[in-house]
A and B are shown apart, each in its own frame.
Chain A
């Protein structure tokens, strides 16, 4: 039965209360562990298609008569675009239309960051469009940019209201602590740099706007465009068959789709607006930089009595406050916690959600601070984390729907035990060490989400839902779930997705929510189809329905009889079995979270400051694992992306003008395969018995969260130096080593000093 409930909805750590229609989950969870299809490693169903270049990405969409749009962007950090004249552009060959911030409200004349869009041109070719953009006359009224986050806070330049949190009495707790540590951590701004840049192709079919877009949220784009263009939601059709990555930066419609839609409306032709790699590095979102001033106090037995943090997110020209304060509030069972989070409004590009926004940054600070604390206490880092384990949710005392962090710690032990052997490899030049860090994150998903399953007389089973596969392998995972429920092989199930006009509503693919939101809906639809198949089978073979089940492609009766599925489905002819499914509600009164721990092994060249990461062991608890192969890919991808964040990636701004100095992949250093360590990946794989019919949580984000802190802690283990600022490039490493040498000199510790 459908119910209307008021429930919390969470995306990437942001909760809102919403009214939601939910359908009760009629299905019991499957038993734990690998099943026939679910829990078995499955290659991507579309792997060959992708490898052969047959998969159609938005970048491949070429419609007849399609025009190309180029965008005029501000070249400086802060300027007003005045007296924009697009007429010179319109006189150029091939140019079909132009628009500017003077006539449309989705472009802003106040260009608050380098790369802010103020006008656009559509032409027959992209070169003609670019020539058109160059021809546009603008008077740029420049002013002094604000670039320093602390200064912005001091001046009251905030993007939104600051967020403060308090439980217990932090000051009293710290005053009574045996050991107190205090440190400032900094994280830099990094860029998503998805393989496929942000882009959309728009065209009009009568009053219907058809949008091909590289997106993480088909339905969100539909609603956003409908609202901004004054259309009814279903007058916008959004298509995304294949997608080349988003990492959080493609949750919304973006100005590029509005530009394409408007230019298409004016010209009557399809318009493609695709960001170049440079534009991607300027104006497609970023993980904002942070400053974290942290304190921790503990009793000598290792009980942490208080945690405090003053956080500044360097949000940029616009954006929201990602939860840098979240890990400090949620990770440990600490009674006294006070945090303050402020968002600096700056003349730099707006932030966008980026794979565990806030938590990546906040975990770096918190988990490094914990090791600094452990060092003073003389307590082993793993032991310190065990002693402060939170047994129930620390925000409001709710029980966890499931939590196996202690089991993660237990499984981390053999990796952690390697540290003696690893350290022993150290010589004059290379110092080796091991570090670890824990992780907490959301990832429970939620309603609403729907799927349909269609079974034909030829035995084909098709899952239909208007979700997107953002490159994580969702197609394959959904097929596995349906195949398991219908007792057929994976090859027998296909998944049709990616089109808002051809399937029911599906959730956003962000906040590690695709599997936990969509998976239960798919199972529920397959369960509905299974029930109908068994109803027919009961009539066909004169059995009681409750004695029948589907297994191995057969209808199996508890009395020992069995019949091939085709012998029933073959009778259908043009009739079809249609299953419908919905995502059930999350368990009320419980906190659904994901957990994990990573152990990193590093070597530091104390002469040049070079850091090599040799091995990372990742143990995560995300409930049931649907596809171990796909899950492993998520862990590897998350760790590699974290490695770039930790060691080499840095969106550099000219400190005076705010110009972006790293606009190409030549200047912006992503990790290469030669930088990738051995990655050992383990899952607790214990279904969350309270969470829907699947017991599966999301895994897109957890693996990127603890890596930076684990590496930094390993560096401290290797060298004794505290690295408190990302990226830990060679200069940063040498700075930390020099600070250590100075500290040792002051304390007269001559024994440990390196011989000249």
Chain B
């Protein structure tokens, strides 16, 4: 297996254009599991760890730009944690300290699992995904980027550059149900924003359908909102839990999230 390590974004995009089969690797916390379980045998790895443009985060006129290389550990730290508090809460529930130090937003988007914990908080904040290739940069709403279970809208020559969002600065939270207290892939999860400014409730559920799903309703519909969220989800039975339980738990989480955010 060949590992290519570009030192700049330009270089990374050229490599990706030339070698569209090269699998990007950021933290490697998903990819190495795939390799280990023999689910993938890429001939070439594209190591993104030395590309400075993908790292960290910045603010431009109030819009946040989260580099695809942003780690969970970084998302948990102030001041970023105060700007996107639900993302920070979600980050704290990811894996273990080692995974949070290595794992990145870009990797979570690249994997596009319905259980990806970064996805619901980004979805309720109306995040846009910035995709880049030698052909140029394009931007997609996260809901359009996620096209199916573990499938996304990336073209073979594209990389995820960043996620952009305008922080709502509204009360928000993230909740996750798992079979133990740490190192768990969600049985189901929920992010919620109680947006008083827009008079809107926005919730996104994880592990309860083929993709992370967004549900919105006017604030006045608070009383039915938990049911609306549970009804919108399309969970299945698997080793982690049953569909019935997931729907029930989503309802409970939505109710609690509203209690917390509308208090």
Among A607, A647, A671, A731, contact of B242 (Cβ-Cβ < 8 Å): A731
Minimal Cβ-Cβ distance residue in B for A729? B179
How near does chain A come to B218, taking the closest CB pair, in angstroms? 23
Asked if residues A730 and B180 are in contact (CB atoms below 8 Å), the reply is: no
Interface centre among B181, B185, B242, B245 (most CB of A within 10 A): B181
Chain B, 179-193, contact with A by CB distance < 8 Å: what is the 0/1 string?
Answer: 111111101000000
Asked if residues B182 and A730 are in contact (CB atoms below 8 Å), the reply is: no
How near does chain A come to B207, taking the closest CB pair, in angstroms? 13
Asked if residues A674 and B181 are in contact (CB atoms below 8 Å), the reply is: yes
Asked if residues A675 and B181 are in contact (CB atoms below 8 Å), the reply is: yes
Minimal Cβ-Cβ distance residue in B for A670? B180
Asked if residues A608 and B239 are in contact (CB atoms below 8 Å), the reply is: no
Chain B, 244-262, contact with A by CB distance < 8 Å: what is the 0/1 string?
Answer: 0100110011011000000
Q: Does A572 contact B (CB under 8 A)?
A: no
Interface centre among A608, A652, A673, A734 (most CB of B within 10 A): A608
Given contacts A669-B180, A675-B181, contact A608 B252 (CB under 8 A): yes
Chain B 218-263 interface residues, beta-carbon cutoff 8 Å to A: 239, 241-242, 245, 248-249, 252-253, 255-256
Chain A interface, number of residues (Cβ within 8 angstroms): 24
Asked if residues B180 and A675 are in contact (CB atoms below 8 Å), the reply is: yes
Q: Does B177 contact A (CB under 8 A)?
A: yes
How near does chain B come to A658, taking the closest CB pair, in angstroms? 15
| Complex alpha-carbon distance, A690 and B152, angstroms | 72
| Complex alpha-carbon distance, A671 and B180, angstroms | 7
Asked if residues A730 and B179 are in contact (CB atoms below 8 Å), the reply is: yes
Among A647, A648, A730, contact of B177 (Cβ-Cβ < 8 Å): A730
Minimal Cβ-Cβ distance residue in B for A665? B183
| Complex alpha-carbon distance, A623 and B239, angstroms | 43
Given contacts A608-B249, A608-B252, A608-B253, contact A730 B241 (CB under 8 A): yes
Asked if residues A661 and B239 are in contact (CB atoms below 8 Å), the reply is: yes
| Complex alpha-carbon distance, A150 and B253, angstroms | 38
| Complex alpha-carbon distance, A430 and B248, angstroms | 17
Asked if residues A648 and B252 are in contact (CB atoms below 8 Å), the reply is: no
Asked if residues A607 and B181 are in contact (CB atoms below 8 Å), the reply is: no
Chain A 602-617 interface residues, beta-carbon cutoff 8 Å to B: 607-610, 612
How near does chain B come to A553, taking the closest CB pair, in angstroms? 47
Asked if residues B253 and A662 are in contact (CB atoms below 8 Å), the reply is: no
Task: Give the interface SS of chain B, mostly helix, strand, loop or mixed.
Answer: loop
Asked if residues A648 and B179 are in contact (CB atoms below 8 Å), the reply is: yes
Chain A, 635-674, contact with B by CB distance < 8 Å: what is the 0/1 string?
Answer: 0000000000001100010000000011010110101111
Q: Which residues of B contact A729 (CB under 8 A)?
A: 179
| Complex alpha-carbon distance, A652 and B252, angstroms | 27
How near does chain B come to A43, taking the closest CB pair, in angstroms? 27
Chain B interface, number of residues (Cβ within 8 angstroms): 22
Q: Which residues of A contact B256 (CB under 8 A)?
A: 429, 607
Asked if residues B239 and A734 are in contact (CB atoms below 8 Å), the reply is: no
| Complex alpha-carbon distance, A290 and B181, angstroms | 27
Q: Which residues of A contact B181 (CB under 8 A)?
A: 612, 672, 674-675
Minimal Cβ-Cβ distance residue in B for A606? B252
Q: Which residues of B contact A652 (CB under 8 A)?
A: 239
Q: Which residues of A contact B242 (CB under 8 A)?
A: 731
How near does chain A come to B92, taking the closest CB pair, in angstroms? 12
How near does chain A come to B243, taking the closest CB pair, in angstroms? 11
| Complex alpha-carbon distance, A429 and B259, angstroms | 12
Asked if residues A610 and B177 are in contact (CB atoms below 8 Å), the reply is: yes
Among B182, B239, B252, B255, contact of A667 (Cβ-Cβ < 8 Å): B239
Asked if residues B241 and A731 are in contact (CB atoms below 8 Å), the reply is: yes
| Complex alpha-carbon distance, A181 and B239, angstroms | 34
Q: Which residues of B contact A661 (CB under 8 A)?
A: 239
Asked if residues B182 and A674 are in contact (CB atoms below 8 Å), the reply is: yes
Asked if residues A607 and B252 are in contact (CB atoms below 8 Å), the reply is: yes
| Complex alpha-carbon distance, A662 and B239, angstroms | 8
Minimal Cβ-Cβ distance residue in A for B239? A661
Among B180, B248, B249, contact of A647 (Cβ-Cβ < 8 Å): B180
Q: Which residues of B contact A610 (CB under 8 A)?
A: 177
Minimal Cβ-Cβ distance residue in A for B185? A666
| Complex alpha-carbon distance, A307 and B242, angstroms | 36
| Complex alpha-carbon distance, A664 and B38, angstroms | 14
How near does chain B come to A392, taking the closest CB pair, in angstroms? 43
Q: Which residues of A contact B180 (CB under 8 A)?
A: 647-648, 669, 671-672, 674-675
Minimal Cβ-Cβ distance residue in A for B187? A730
| Complex alpha-carbon distance, A664 and B242, angstroms | 20
Chain B, 201-226, contact with A by CB distance < 8 Å: what is the 0/1 string?
Answer: 00000000000000000000000000
Chain A, 327-365, contact with B by CB distance < 8 Å: what is the 0/1 string?
Answer: 000000000000000000000000000000000000000
Q: Which residues of B contact A675 (CB under 8 A)?
A: 180-182
How near does chain B come to A602, taking the closest CB pair, in angstroms? 13
| Complex alpha-carbon distance, A652 and B242, angstroms | 14
Q: Which residues of A contact B245 (CB under 8 A)?
A: 609, 730-731, 734
Asked if residues B183 and A730 are in contact (CB atoms below 8 Å), the reply is: no
Asked if residues A672 and B182 are in contact (CB atoms below 8 Å), the reply is: yes
Q: Which residues of A contact B185 (CB under 8 A)?
A: 666
How near does chain A come to B150, taking the closest CB pair, in angstroms? 16
Asked if residues A669 and B252 are in contact (CB atoms below 8 Å), the reply is: no
How near does chain B come to A626, taking the closest CB pair, in angstroms? 34
| Complex alpha-carbon distance, A674 and B182, angstroms | 6
Minimal Cβ-Cβ distance residue in A for B256? A607
Q: Which residues of A contact B253 (CB under 8 A)?
A: 608
How near does chain A come to B189, taking the closest CB pair, in angstroms? 12
Chain B, 16-52, contact with A by CB distance < 8 Å: what is the 0/1 string?
Answer: 0000000000000000010001000000000000000
How near does chain A come to B179, taking the closest CB pair, in angstroms? 5
Chain A, 215-245, contact with B by CB distance < 8 Å: what is the 0/1 string?
Answer: 0000000000000000000000000000000
Q: Which residues of B contact A734 (CB under 8 A)?
A: 245, 248
Chain A 666-695 interface residues, beta-carbon cutoff 8 Å to B: 666-667, 669, 671-675
Q: Which residues of A contact B255 (CB under 8 A)?
A: 607
| Complex alpha-carbon distance, A672 and B187, angstroms | 17
| Complex alpha-carbon distance, A700 and B71, angstroms | 42
How near does chain A come to B208, taking the closest CB pair, in angstroms? 14
Minimal Cβ-Cβ distance residue in B for A727? B179
Q: Which residues of A contact B184 (CB under 8 A)?
A: 669
Chain A 712-753 interface residues, beta-carbon cutoff 8 Å to B: 729-731, 734
| Complex alpha-carbon distance, A610 and B177, angstroms | 8
Given contacts A667-B239, A730-B241, contact A608 B182 (CB under 8 A): no
Minimal Cβ-Cβ distance residue in A for B96? A672
How near does chain B come to A87, taking the closest CB pair, in angstroms? 25
| Complex alpha-carbon distance, A235 and B255, angstroms | 70
Known contacts A671-B180, A675-B180, then 5 further A-B pairs from the complex at CB < 8 Å, ordered by chain A residue: A607-B256, A609-B245, A661-B239, A666-B185, A730-B241
Give chain B's interface residues, CB within 8 Å of chain A: 33, 37, 96, 177, 179-185, 187, 239, 241-242, 245, 248-249, 252-253, 255-256
Give chain A's interface residues, CB within 8 Å of chain B: 429, 607-610, 612, 647-648, 652, 661-662, 664, 666-667, 669, 671-675, 729-731, 734
Q: List 21 A-B contacts (CB under 8 A).
A: A429-B256, A607-B255, A608-B253, A609-B245, A647-B180, A648-B179, A648-B180, A652-B239, A661-B239, A662-B239, A664-B37, A669-B184, A672-B96, A672-B182, A672-B183, A675-B181, A730-B179, A730-B245, A730-B249, A731-B241, A731-B242
State the 6 A-B residue pairs at the shortest beta-carbon distance, nearest first.
A674-B182, A674-B181, A607-B252, A672-B182, A675-B181, A731-B245
